[in-house]
Amino acid sequence: MLCMYADDTAILARNNNPNYIQLALNRYIKALEEWFVRWKIASNASKTEAIMFQKTTSYCNFPQLKINNELIPCSKQCKYLGVILDIRLTWKPHFLYVRKKFWAQARKLYPLLARNSKMDRETKFLIYTAYLRPVITYACPTWGYAAKSNLNILENLQNNIIRRITKATWYMSNSDIRNALKYPSLREFIKKLFTSFFNNLDNNDNPAIQEINKYLPDPTIKKPKNVLLLT
C-alpha cells in the first residue's frame, strides 16, 4: 500500500505489485492537478510525502510519483492528522512522539501533580483523566493492535503519573495500586474506547460507512479490532 499526503489531502492505493500502485496514483495525481488548476490551488511537491506500507524497510520497489513534474519524496514515516505512520506500521515512532508530547504537557502540571502537592488525590486524578490521558489515547482505534512491547511505552506513562499522584513507594506494584483505586489500566481503557468506536460504526447510518466490510475479532490476525479480545 502507498499513501501520498499533501497538507491534509490523502491518496491511497493498494496492490501487491508496486507498478500498479505507481500507475494508479500517478493517474489520480494527474486528475488532481487539473482540479487544482481549476480552483486556483497551488501544490508543492517538497511538502508532499509518499510512503509505502510493507513488511520490509527496503525502497527497492518504491514507485516514482510526480506532481507538477516534480518528484514526490518518499519517506519511512510521516505525520498525518496528528498520528505518525511508519513504513511497517509498528507505531513505535508514534508512541515515542506521544511520550515526548505527554511529558511536555505533564511538566506544565507538575506543581499540581507532584508528590508534595497539597491538592487532594481525587482532583489530581481528575486533572490526569481530563488533560493527560487524552494525549496518550488519541486515535487509539488506529494503533491499538501494536505489539505489547510498544504499547508498554504508553502504559508506563500512566503508571508513572499514578505512582506520583498516590505517592507510592518502590515495593508497591502498579496493578495493586490500580486495583486499590479501582482505576483501569491503559489497555482496559483503550478496550472500552474500541468497543464504543466499533459499536458506533455498526449503528452509523452513513452509506459509505455501511459499505465497509464487517468482521469479527480473530486472535490469529492482527487487526485493530483485536484489542477487544484482550483480557
Tens of pLDDT, residue by residue over 193-214, are 888 888 888 788 888 777 777 6
CA–CA separation, 104 vs 101, rounded Å?
5
Q: Which helix (H) or strand (E) holds 97?
A: helix 92-108
- Name 112's Cβ contacts closer than 8 Å, sequence gap at least 6: 119, 124, 127
Query: pLDDT at residue 161 above 60?
Result: yes
Judge whether residue 156 has pLDDT over 50. Answer: yes
For residues 167 and 117, is the Cβ–Cβ distance under 8 A?
A: no
Q: What is the pLDDT of residues 172-193, one digit of tens each?
A: 999 999 999 999 999 899 988 8
Per-residue confidence band for 228, with pLDDT thresholds at 50, 70 and 90: low
Question: Is residue 139 scored above 80 in pLDDT?
Answer: yes
User: Over 52-83, what HEC string results?
Assistant: ECCCCCCCCCCCCCEECCEECCECCEEEECCE
Torsional class of 68: left (φ above 0), alpha (ψ -120 to 50), beta (otherwise): left
Whether the per-residue pLDDT at 60 is higher than 60: the answer is: no
Q: What is the pTM of this model?
A: 0.83
Query: Quick one: average pLDDT of 58-64?
Result: 66
Please give the pLDDT value at position 223. 60
Per-residue pLDDT averaged across 102-126, rounded? 94
